[in-house]
Amino acid sequence: MSSVETYPEGLAITVEGVSKRFGRTLALDDVSLAVPHGTVFALLGPNGAGKSTLIDILCTIGRPDSGRALIAGIDVVKQPLAARRQLGVVFQETTLDTRLTVRENLSFHGMVYQMGRRERLTRTDEMLELVDLTDWADSEVKTLSSGMRRRLEIARALMHRPQILFLDEPTVGLDAQARARIWDYIAALRAQQDLTVIVTTHYIEEVDACDDICIIDRGKILAKGSPDALKSQHGSTLLKVTPRSDEARAAILARYPDAVAGAESQLLIQMTATDSADAILAEFGNQLRQISIDQPSLESVFLSLTGRDLREAPPVSRKARRNG
């Protein structure tokens, strides 16, 4: 393995100037980032931001048009097979074989990752234990709930002891309880040594627990940093008001042209001076149905960086996103 290029000490992932175009859409526009070893790193952005395209390139499925990407120091374009050994991937859509049993899925994975028989057997049991699926080992996957399937996929991705685990929207389509449980597992993995976790999500409330966040929109990286650093740099106190009528709405918009439409006919106003909450109450107090003041949050960070509410970002269909 002498051909492997050396990489900056302690970096699990290096992305340098990666661009990718699908037809007329620039899905990734000169993206660079570095992820230190042993951290939990979140890629945050609305649907269609380019997260999945970036993950595909890092997983060696997609090829960048330009730039380069290293996984544990291995170039994903030049040495895809070597890079894949260091990767565990949980894709957004389930990739289990539902006609095989839980154990058979893990065993299949162990074999295609070329693990020896003994190691495969012990590792299967360890992984089943890790995600509390030991009792389901011999059930066919089609009998499992979607939360259990997700846990199985995480277990499977870790079978071959990868250095880096990718979780692409791991909590989409799960109920609140199952989502919380997935994040419990991620926290447990974080405590484990020698694993870097890259997670993509568009649920903003989920990434507060990560070490580093990278906010990405329309193929560009807008900001990087720890949640606290991002909040203090880009966050602002956010005023959420619900006008009583359309006239009131128009009046508020005329007064605060930077206000952004939020969920449920809310208007989101970023406060610059401390007195603006008082100002708006004095001016429009009787025309508001509801008002709330949010302390700096990642939501306001996203708003101030992109000028739109993450929740309100128009959903892009799966196909459109794949094709850019």
Partner 1 sequence: MSTALSRGFGQARGVYAIWLREVKRSLRDKGQLVGGVSRPLLWVLILGIGLNPYFRGEVYGEVRFVVPYTYLQFIFPAVIVLNILYTSIQSAVSLIWDREFGFLREVLVSPMPRNLILLGKVLGGATTAVIHGCMVLVVARFVGVAPSWSDIAQAIGLMFVLSFGLTAFGIVIANYIRGFESFGVFSNAVILPLYFTASSVFPLDPALTRAQTLVTYPEWLVYMVEFNPLTYAIDAMRGILIDFNQFDPAFNFQVVGVLAVGLFLLAMWEFRKV
Q: Which is nearer to partner 1, 105 or 300 (CB)?
A: 105
316 binds partner 1 (CB under 8 A): no
What whole-number distance in Å separates Cα of residue 253 and Cα of residue 82? 55
Interface with partner 1, residue 3, by CB under 8 A: no
Q: List the one residue from 3, 24, 112, 118 that touches partner 1 (CB under 8 A).
A: 112
Q: Does 100 bind partner 1 (CB under 8 A)?
A: yes
Nearest to 91 by CA among 157, 173, 141: 157
Applying CB under 8 A, which of residues 20, 51, 84, 249 lies at the interface with partner 1?
Answer: 84
Q: In this structure, how many other beta carbons lie within 10 angstroms of the beta carbon of residue 244?
A: 13
Each residue 12-51 as x (binds partner 1 by CB under 8 A) or -, in order, gives: ----------------------------------------
Nearer to partner 1, 109 or 181 (CB): 109
CA distance 305 to 226: 15
The footprint of partner 1 on this chain (CB under 8 A) covers a number of residues equal to 27
At 60, list the tokens.
């060696």
Tell how strand 260-261 and strand 267-270 pair up: antiparallel
Q: Find all residues with CB under 8 Å of 228, minimum gap 6, and list them.
A: none
- Residue 147 or 225: the one with the smaller Cβ distance to partner 1 is 147
Binding window for partner 1 (CB under 8 A); candidates: 37-45, 92-100, 213-221, 305-313 = 92-100
Tell which one of 63, 78, 99, 322 touches partner 1 (CB under 8 A).
Answer: 99
Rank residues 95 and 265 by Cβ distance to partner 1 and give the closer one: 95
**Closest to partner 1 by CB, 59 or 310:** 59
What is the residue-wise DSSP string for 147-187? Answer: HHHHHHHHHHHHTT--SEEEEESTTTT--HHHHHHHHHHHH
Q: Which residues contact 37 (CB under 8 A, 6 or more apart)?
A: 10, 11, 12, 163, 194, 196
Q: How far is the CB of 103 from partner 1 (least distance, A)?
A: 12
Torsion angle of alpha carbons 69, 73, 77, 83, nearest 10°? -120
Q: Report yes or no: 232 and 297 within 8 Å, Cβ to Cβ.
A: no
CA distance 307 to 299: 11
Residue 89 interacting with partner 1 (CB under 8 A): yes
Give the nearer residue to partner 1 in terms of CB position, either 85 or 190.
85
Nearest-approach distance from CB 115 to partner 1, in angstroms: 8
129: Cα separation from own chain's centroid? 25
Among residues 7, 22, 113, 183, which is the contact residue for partner 1, using CB under 8 A? 113
Of 71, 82, 223, 241, the residue at the interface with partner 1 (CB under 8 A) is 82
Cα–Cα distance for residue pair 313/315, rounded to 1 Å: 6
* Window 122 to 161, contacts with partner 1 (CB under 8 A): 156
* Of 19, 25, 47, 94, the one binding partner 1 by CB under 8 A: 94
Q: 180: how many CB neighbours lie within 10 A of its CB?
A: 12
* Contact positions vs partner 1 (CB under 8 A): 59-61, 81-82, 84-85, 87, 89, 91, 93-100, 104, 107-109, 111-114, 156
